[in-house]
Structure 1
Amino acid sequence: MQANRIHTTTMNSPLPLQHHSVDSLPFSTAFTALPPPFFMRLQPTALPQPYLVCASASAAALIDLDPAQFSTDEFIETFTGNRIPDHAQPLAAVYSGHQFGVWAGQLGDGRAILLGDVPAAGQPAPARMELQLKGAGPTPYSRMGDGRAVLRSSIREFLCSEAMAGLGIPTTRALCVTGSDQLVMRETPESTAVATRMAPSFIRFGSFEHWFYNKKPEQLRILGDYVIDQLYPDLRDAANPYAALLAEVTRRTAHMVAHWQAVGFMHGVMNTDNMSILGLTLDYGPFGFMEAFDAGHICNHTDQQGRYAYSMQPQIAHWNCFALGQAMLPLIGTVEDTEAALAGFKPEYDAKMAALLHAKLGLTTQQADDSLLIDSLFAILQASHVDFTLFFRRLGELQMNNPATDAPLRDLFIDRTAFDAWALQYRTRLQTEDRTDADRRLAMHAVNPKYVLRNYLAQVAIEKAEAKDFSEIAKLLAILEKPFDDQPEHEAYAALPPDWASQLEVSCSS
């Protein structure tokens, strides 16, 4: 099976594009095929006088929604939850999960309401995309919360969802954010917003855990069959479809986290209820992109123990897969088959990470001593706390036979002697490759982004948006949709962060 692609049918011809308006989107809700205990039907809670904050034309293209619709009242009212489209059946799903390694019991869509699903553009039936409103009011699973999202966190989720898509990392998508002047209390009063998220499915590891820990084997089997039939139909003919499902989810999760590590992305809250059954990056809360490299960096101020630090993410992803395997054990049948399905995580992660790092270093072959080259690189990055994104981007400019041109790269290091020693080792390795500097530069710039969503860039956009100036969000979106392009007119967005950026903190509060 090809990585990170949902197989839905063997038909080869794509559907013709229809260029939908909001009102012509053909909503249905496949999730309602599940029995009533899986969800609660409900209506979103209206927000007064909503307005458009931002929208993504590339996300809209996934359902062939005409971007001209963004400015219409129908679009704004629909994706705020004030207006329900024909045939949409809003609902909130139940799930449970482990939070910071501790069983938390029932959670569920506390502030997310699934509007329904629509056909995925350009893909043969029955490929669908679910549209979910985050922040559209309380649900039966709100756990004493108000069911609302605030503007700052909604903007961060919107920008990062689309930035990750631009980086080629498996992710849920963000169609838009709408705002309102209605206030909710967090640490201080904040304005409310609704983010519309998109994915083929929002089912999580915690969806399986819910039925396992509640000792509901029939519901567990119903969920397993639904996921296979709707999302992984190629697995139905496997000798043990449930074991095959666990193996495929494990593989996708390993690849997803390898992609995170390779660009320095930190999720911040890798709870099992935030892990997608499709191996998509899900639930953008206190995320961050690595700046001054520190393998132990914790991007989530709430994570006092460092469970979700950068260096821990592969281990935690593996742990989460085991939690899913525990929940699926009654379906799979034996501990041995379950462990065999999970055994792929480490080799899949290691192979994907090796491939990604070799590409980042401009190496077309893998050799026995490459691990020493890579380990020594991360050691000097750690020692000098070198900016992660800038280093790999500038490394593409290195000339194999001209160390005198190294200054822009070398100046990133406090210990420049250590860099010189590593650069000599690197050049020696490059001499074993049949590649010109120009070819290597082109290849490296295609995988090492120049632009990532640094926290301070998001903060600037948020502060302007709080004053009803949404232009910076639109500008950032346009830049982040093409993160590998040079974009010389936006050079400042690729620079080292300003000193004040080090004072920014992100937490689970949103």
Structure 2
Amino acid sequence: MITYRNTYISLPSHFFTQQFSDKFLNPTLIAFNHDLAKELFNDDLTSKSDQELARYFSGQERHSGLEPIAMAYSGHQFGHFNPTLGDGRALLLGEVVTSNNMRFDVQLKGSGQTPYSRSGDGRSALGPVIREYLVSEAMHALGVPTTRALCAVRSGEQVYRETPQPGGIFTRVASSHIRIGTFEFLASRGDYEGLKALADYTIKRHYPKARDQANPYLALIDCTAKAWASLIAKWLSLGFIHGVMNTDNMAVSGETIDYGPCAFMDNYSHARVYSFIDRHGRYAYGNQINIGKWNLGRFASALLPIVDTDSDQAIKQTQELLDSTYRYYDQAWLVEMSKKFGIENPVHTDQALIVEFLELLERHDLDFTDSFIKLTHSREKLEAYDGFPPFLKKWLGRSPNFEFMKISNPYLIPRNHQIERAIQASLNRDDSVFKLLNEVYKSPFSSTHQGKEYALAPKPEQRIKNTFCGT
């Protein structure tokens, strides 16, 4: 079938637990990403039937050499440290190395209990499987660093949440599953040898140039800061709200991971929140840069023991580095947002222009994505709103590149009401909406007849007010 490697198990054994999937008697295939599979496995899976794929990607085929693991980690959840988290419903099947020498993890989600499940059943409801498949693949098409969707399977069993729901199993592909919380797990236990081993492994896997710096561990923080700054700026440019930026949900690789209660903003608000559990707006749209900086501080704190053996020096050097990295976030935001206005070489004063536009959207309760489409293709439709004519005059004075805007402002995003529609249909064993959306989201910058219906902003009665993790 597939030959996996697993370099992570070369690390100390308390980093993970070896574990196989639970038994599922009748798994059935919903979707399989053949294009991604070809990149990962060449033609190894092309001859497999839907039934064989469903069995394999629900963990039912146990061939020799397969060593699945559940990974240990901690995390700050809504600002509060939880020392005992880990993969409570996920198993890392192993790693694959592509023909161009890129290494990826392949992980099952919803495959059953692990030693980190605590009181959970280790299963996933089908809804979150549908959501993550659609949104992660859409994010990839939009050019955002992200985990990828390889396979979605019905488990054939019910899971019990507030009500019984069909179960699902999701296969995720990632550059790795190393999180801030993985480092926090070791630091909180005083395992500094393990911390160093993990940092060295992460540098080798993700940021090899950091090895050549005077202090590789400070360089690791710096590289991660740049990756997160770029990532969060891309989120903000698309109106994306992750919803649960806990440190156990932030990948050191700089990829979007753990979509949970994520959402794409409809009508613009700087303080927009969709996640039902984010009662105080910690992870609101406009607070995501601040949380990125805060999370970087937690990552740096975990690494302090290996930055320098002198704790005072470690704190001094790390704080100086953090102070210098915070500018990355603001710079990345300016670059990404300027693209949407056709400004190829932004200057500091463009920030005020961007903020003015966003404030106008909020004042008039306008749709984020649709307003940028109008700005690109039919700005006269914005002139009817108070405040827009003087803004447009100033903006046109920057000589925007409209061709640049066309490749920076998508027609299609995963609209919350369309994602919910796909979920509800799949819960009733109708996957046609899911498959249609998955297809149209592959071309987010194209205004096609097929995609026009799905590009429309929701009517007031269609707006989704809250999203749920739901796994």
Range into which the TM-score falls when normalised by the shorter chain: over 0.9
> Residue 440 of structure 2 contacts residue 450 of structure 2 at CA under 8 Å; is this kept in 1?
no
Separation in 2, partners of 1:474, 1:344 = 45
2:25 to 48, 51, 56: 48
Q: For residue 419 of structure 1, report the CA deviation from its aligned partner.
A: 1.8
Q: Residues 284 and 85 of structure 1: is their aligned pair in 2 closer, same or farther, counting only changes over 3 Å?
A: farther
> Residue 247 of structure 1 contacts residue 344 of structure 1 at CA under 8 Å; is this kept in 2?
no
Separation in 2, partners of 1:84, 1:396 = 53
> Residue 139 of structure 1 contacts residue 147 of structure 1 at CA under 8 Å; is this kept in 2?
yes
Q: For residue 161 of structure 1, report the CA deviation from its aligned partner.
A: 0.9
Q: Which residue of 1 aligns with 2:90?
A: 112
Identity value in percent:
35
Q: Residues 177 and 65 of structure 1: is their aligned pair in 2 closer, same or farther, counting only changes over 3 Å?
A: farther
Q: For residue 69 of structure 1, report the CA deviation from its aligned partner.
A: 5.0
Separation in 2, partners of 1:154, 1:257 = 23
Q: Describe how 1:11-26 pairs up with structure 2 within 5 A.
A: 23=1, 25-26=2-3
Q: Residues 65 and 52 of structure 1: is their aligned pair in 2 closer, same or farther, counting only changes over 3 Å?
A: farther
Q: For residue 134 of structure 1, report the CA deviation from its aligned partner.
A: 0.3
Q: Describe how 1:65-84 pairs up with structure 2 within 5 A.
A: 65-66=42-43, 68-69=46-47, 71-84=49-62
2:388 to 405, 419, 425: 419
Q: For residue 157 of structure 1, report the CA deviation from its aligned partner.
A: 0.7
> Residue 96 of structure 1 contacts residue 206 of structure 1 at CA under 8 Å; is this kept in 2?
yes
TM-score between the two structures when normalised by the length of structure 1: 0.88
> Residue 165 of structure 1 contacts residue 171 of structure 1 at CA under 8 Å; is this kept in 2?
yes
Separation in 1, partners of 2:423, 2:461 = 16
Q: For residue 45 of structure 1, report the CA deviation from its aligned partner.
A: 0.3
Q: For residue 214 of structure 1, report the CA deviation from its aligned partner.
A: 1.2
Q: Which residue of 1 aligns with 2:437?
A: 476
Q: Which residue of 2 aligns with 1:29?
A: 6
> Residue 455 of structure 1 contacts residue 501 of structure 1 at CA under 8 Å; is this kept in 2?
no
Q: Deviations over 1:338-361 (max 9, x none)?
A: 123323432211221111122110
> Residue 274 of structure 2 contacts residue 465 of structure 2 at CA under 8 Å; is this kept in 1?
no
2:468 is aligned with 1:507: yes
Query: Where does structure 1 lack aligned partners over 5 or more consecutive residues?
Result: 1-22, 399-404, 434-439
2:333 is aligned with 1:353: yes
Q: For residue 255 of structure 1, report the CA deviation from its aligned partner.
A: 1.0
Separation in 2, partners of 1:318, 1:112 = 28
Separation in 2, partners of 1:397, 1:208 = 47
Q: Which residue of 2 aligns with 1:60?
A: 37
> Residue 50 of structure 1 contacts residue 180 of structure 1 at CA under 8 Å; is this kept in 2?
yes
Which deviates more from structure 2 when the two are superposed, residues 349-358 or residues 87-96? 349-358
Secondary structure in 2 matching 1:343: helix
Q: Residues 319 and 70 of structure 1: is their aligned pair in 2 closer, same or farther, counting only changes over 3 Å?
A: farther
Separation in 2, partners of 1:478, 1:182 = 28
Secondary structure in 2 matching 1:341: helix
Q: Which residue of 1 aligns with 2:311?
A: none
Q: Describe how 1:192-207 pairs up with structure 2 within 5 A.
A: 192-207=167-182
Separation in 1, partners of 2:195, 2:67 = 23
Q: Deviations over 1:209-230 (max 9, x none)?
A: 0111111111111111111223
2:71 is aligned with 1:93: yes
Separation in 2, partners of 1:503, 1:476 = 17
Q: Residues 222 and 284 of structure 1: is their aligned pair in 2 closer, same or farther, counting only changes over 3 Å?
A: same
Which deviates more from structure 2 when the two are superposed, residues 76-85 or residues 420-429? 420-429
> Residue 268 of structure 1 contacts residue 298 of structure 1 at CA under 8 Å; is this kept in 2?
yes
Q: For residue 367 of structure 1, report the CA deviation from its aligned partner.
A: 3.9
Q: Which residue of 2 aligns with 1:131?
A: 106
Q: Residues 370 and 237 of structure 1: is their aligned pair in 2 closer, same or farther, counting only changes over 3 Å?
A: closer
Separation in 2, partners of 1:94, 1:283 = 16
* Length, aligned pairs only: 465
Secondary structure in 1 matching 2:405: helix
2:317 to 316, 337, 346: 337
Q: Which amino acid aligns with 2:236?
A: Q
Q: Which residue of 1 aligns with 2:449?
A: 488
> Residue 446 of structure 1 contacts residue 484 of structure 1 at CA under 8 Å; is this kept in 2?
yes
Q: Which residue of 2 aligns with 1:4?
A: none
Q: Deviations over 1:406-431 (max 9, x none)?
A: 12x446xxxx122222222222333x
Q: Describe how 1:400-411 pairs up with structure 2 within 5 A.
A: 406-407=380-381, 409-410=382-383
2:129 to 125, 133, 154: 154
Secondary structure in 2 matching 1:350: helix
> Residue 455 of structure 1 contacts residue 504 of structure 1 at CA under 8 Å; is this kept in 2?
no
Q: For residue 503 of structure 1, report the CA deviation from its aligned partner.
A: 4.5
> Residue 298 of structure 1 contacts residue 306 of structure 1 at CA under 8 Å; is this kept in 2?
yes
Q: Which amino acid aligns with 1:406?
A: E
Q: Describe how 1:294-443 pairs up with structure 2 within 5 A.
A: 294-333=269-308, 334-398=314-378, 406-407=380-381, 409-410=382-383, 416-430=385-399, 440-443=401-404
Q: For residue 371 of structure 1, report the CA deviation from its aligned partner.
A: 2.4
Separation in 1, partners of 2:438, 2:462 = 20
Separation in 2, partners of 1:367, 1:39 = 47
Q: Which amino acid aligns with 1:331?
A: I
Query: Where does structure 2 lack aligned partners over 5 or more consecutive residues?
Result: 309-313
Which deviates more from structure 2 when the two are superposed, residues 473-482 or residues 320-329? 473-482
Separation in 1, partners of 2:300, 2:177 = 19
Q: Residues 199 and 344 of structure 1: is their aligned pair in 2 closer, same or farther, counting only changes over 3 Å?
A: farther
Q: Which residue of 2 aligns with 1:13?
A: none
1:179 to 154, 158, 164: 154
Q: Residues 60 and 313 of structure 1: is their aligned pair in 2 closer, same or farther, counting only changes over 3 Å?
A: same
Separation in 2, partners of 1:450, 1:479 = 11
Q: Which amino acid aligns with 1:472?
A: V
Q: Deviations over 1:402-458 (max 9, x none)?
A: xxx712x446xxxx122222222222333xx6xxxxxx3322111111101111111
Separation in 2, partners of 1:474, 1:276 = 28
